[in-house]
Amino acid sequence: MKQFLIATILVFSSQVSSQSNDWIFSKEIKWSKYPDQISKIEKRKRVDSILTSTTFRHLETNYINDSSFHFIDLNNDAKIDLIYSGYAGYESDRILFYINNNGVYELKAHYFGALQSLYFDKNGLNSFLINDYPCCAGYTHHYETYRFYPSKNRFGHIDKIACNYFTHLPNQPKINLQFITTNDKYRLRSEPKIDNTIHEENDRQFESIGNVIAEFPAGTKGVAIAEHIDSTGRVWWFVIIERDASPSFSIFHSGNNNEYPYKVSGWMSSRYLEQL
C-alpha cells in the first residue's frame, strides 16, 4: 500500500483550523502519543472478554492482536473507551470506535482505512483524520475528517478530500489563495506539466488523455495551497476544488465510507485562475 503524507484543510472551528498545515505532513498515527489508560494486565483481560463476546461478532477475529486495541477515555467521563484500528478480516484495515456504557463496549462508528490523527481538547476527543486508502484496483485516497461530540457520543462528518495515488504532491504548502476558473473545461492534472498524449494502451485505463484527471467549467472555485514553476516558466498551483463543483469529466469516486460530497485535488496552470 502506497502511503502519502497528506491530510486535509479543515475549516470547522478555531481548533480544527489550526490543523490546516497537517495536510502534507500527516503520517499514519503513532500510538505512542496515545498510550492505553489501563494496565497491560487489565488490557489483556478486556481484550479476551471482547473477543469472546458478541462485540466483535461482525468481524473476522483471526490474526487480531492486542496492538490494535487502544483503551482511551474519549468523552472525559472517567470510563475507558476503545478504539480498534487495524486488520479486521477485510482487504482494508478498519477503524472502530466503542463507547464504554457501564462496562459494555458499544460500537458507535466504524470506517475503512488508516487512522492518521486524533485531536483532543478539554472535553475529550474533538476530531480525527482518516485515510481511506485504495486497494485492489482502486486508485483514490480519501482524506476524511470527522468530529466527535463527547456529550452525545455522536460522530459527524467535517471534510473529505480525494487525491489519486499517482498524483505528484508538493513538498510543503507555501500559499493559500482562493481562486475561480475563467476558462471552460479547465483541466486538473496529476502532475505540474501539460501531457495531452492520447494512449492506445494506457496503464491507467481510467484515463483517456495524458495526465488529465478532471475538467471543470468556468466559474469553478477552489484554493491553491502550493506553487511550482516548470522549465518553461509556467506557474502551476496545487489546488483543492470545492465540493460543489460540477466537473465535465472526472476520474474521482466517492470512496468506501460514505457518499458525502468531496473536494478533489491536483495541479492546475495558474494562467486562467483568477484570485478572489
Which pLDDT tens digits describe the chain residue by residue (276 residues)? 334 334 333 333 333 333 444 555 566 789 999 999 999 999 999 988 888 776 676 666 666 778 899 999 999 999 999 999 988 776 778 899 999 999 889 999 999 999 999 999 999 999 999 999 887 777 899 999 999 999 999 999 989 999 998 899 888 778 899 999 999 999 999 999 999 887 655 455 555 688 999 999 999 999 999 999 999 999 999 999 999 999 999 999 888 898 888 999 999 999 999 999
Q: What pLDDT, on a 0 to 100 scale, did the predictor assign at position 208?
A: 63
Q: What pLDDT, on a 0 to 100 scale, did the predictor assign at position 128?
A: 94
- Residue in the block written with cell 495541479: 267
* Domain spans of the chain, in order of start: 14-164, 177-275
Q: Strands (DSSP E) along the chain, which ranges?
A: 69-72, 81-86, 94-101, 104-112, 114-121, 124-132, 140-149, 154-164, 177-181, 186-189, 212-216, 221-229, 235-241, 249-250, 263-269, 273-275
Q: What pLDDT, on a 0 to 100 scale, did the predictor assign at position 214?
A: 95
Count of Cβ atoms closer than 10 Å to residue 119 Cβ = 18
Q: Which three cell numbers stand for residue 230?
A: 516548470
Q: Which three cell numbers stand for residue 136?
A: 485492489
Q: What pLDDT, on a 0 to 100 scale, did the predictor assign at position 89?
A: 72
Q: What pLDDT, on a 0 to 100 scale, did the predictor assign at position 207?
A: 54
Q: What pLDDT, on a 0 to 100 scale, did the predictor assign at position 1?
A: 37
Q: Which three cell numbers stand for residue 273?
A: 485562475
**Which of 115, 116, 144, 128 shows the shortest CA–CA distance to 263?**
144
Q: What pLDDT, on a 0 to 100 scale, did the predictor assign at position 254?
A: 85
Specify burial of residue 74 (Cβ count, 10 A radius: 0-12, 13-18, 19+).
Answer: buried
Q: What pLDDT, on a 0 to 100 scale, did the predictor assign at position 199?
A: 62
Q: Which three cell numbers stand for residue 114?
A: 488508516
- Give just the sign of the alpha carbon dihedral 41, 47, 50, 52: negative
- Give just the sign of the alpha carbon dihedral 202, 203, 206, 212: negative
Specify burial of residue 140 (Cβ count, 10 A radius: 0-12, 13-18, 19+).
Answer: buried
Q: What distance in Å separates the CA atoms of residue 219 and residue 188, rounded to the nearest whole number? A: 14
Residue 168 DSSP label: P
